[in-house]
Amino acid sequence: MFKSLYNKVLLWAQHPKAKSYLFVLSVSESSFFPIPPDVMLAPMCLAKPLRSYHYAFLTTLGSVLGGVIGYFIGLFSFGMLESFITMMHYEENLEVVKSWLSEWGFWAIFISGFSPIPYKLFTITAGLLSMAFLPFVIASIIGRGSRFFLVAFLVSLGGEALRHKLNDYIEHIGWLVTGFVIVGIVIYKLI
């Protein structure tokens, strides 16, 4: 099951329009879409390791552009998003982000590139709180760029050998991750 999905993702990563899809996914994830671009970046780096840093740059550029869009959404139209935030159960995360941005500003945006809290919450909240725009953009470039270039570096380190190893073990990895997700959901529901 997971092996066929893995092979499909690698094929999608080699699609002629894959770079465009990666860019659009990066823009949308930073402002409103729930799926992070890593799900496309990593397979694209696996499929073409010599292009890894190009893909990381493209992802960073798209993510920062999406972050700017998110910033302006928060600045000008946050009221329209409140129902979406409630629907996605982000209220508690939003309060955490507000306190982080109020206390740490630039550093909160920088760290958000690696945070489990969705980056879009940081971008929209930065606009909502009218954070200074230039520090917001600089922190986004450094934080998101660090994340995506790290992904590209780690995946390209493995290169073709990693691609074949993953192919051999993808079923075990897939079921292990599925098990962790199920256990995590059960623990979350019980607590």
Integer angstrom CA distances of residue 46 from 20, 59, 61: 17, 15, 20
Q: Rounded to whole angstroms, how far apart are CA atoms 43 and 155? A: 9
**Which is higher by pLDDT, 190 or 135?**
135
Please say if the pLDDT value at position 132 is more than 80.
yes
pLDDT for residue 21: 85
Tell me the CA end-to-end span of the chain in Å, nearest whole number: 32
pLDDT for residue 145: 93
Give strand ranges (E) for 48-119: none
Amino acid at 140: S
Q: Both tokens of residue 6?
A: 């893995």
Q: Both tokens of residue 140?
A: 């986004």
